[in-house]
Amino acid sequence: MLDDIGRSDFERLHSRARRKGWYRGADSVAYCVFDLLVGKGKDLRALPLERRKAALQRLLTEPPPGLLYVDSVEDGAWLYGHALTLGLEGVVGKRAGSTYQAGERSPDWLKIKRPGAVSPERFKRPKKSL
């Protein structure tokens, strides 16, 4: 979910997700896409990130409403500085040339949080007992 100036707002998303389905007055959800794992019926996970993103961009020459293509930024320090200015939680990045690794988070993924950002435990749901 995005706020009035286009910042992601996980708190609003979490609140919206508690209610199942669409309802009158519901906040709009933006679907942000940044990678393509399958294209034209072929597994693309072994291709470098740049090739997967290029294939995704070709698919999204005119994205439908509610879909946001997330492009690459090569200057991570510049991006992190803007994230701090906007009060975002941080930035997530993926190493150029990396392939997609299923399962556990790959060392090619970097998540850099701003000091004082919300801890991930805040949004964990309690385990249901059987």
CATH number where 45 lies? 3.30.470.30
Residues 45-66 have pLDDT tens digits of: 999 999 999 999 999 888 888 8
Residues 61-90 have pLDDT tens digits of: 888 888 888 888 889 899 999 999 988 888
On whether residue 51 sits in a domain, the answer given is yes
On whether residue 49 sits in a domain, the answer given is yes
Note down the domain range covering 20: 10-118
69 in Cβ contact with 52 (< 8 Å): no
Enter the tokens of residue 122: 């805040």
Give this prediction's pTM.
Answer: 0.73
Average pLDDT of 98-123? 80
Cα three-residue angle 118-105-96, rounded to 5 degrees = 100
Enter the tokens of residue 77: 């320090």
On whether residue 43 sits in a domain, the answer given is yes
On whether residue 124 sits in a domain, the answer given is no
Could you give phi then psi for residue 16, rounded to 5 degrees?
-65, -35
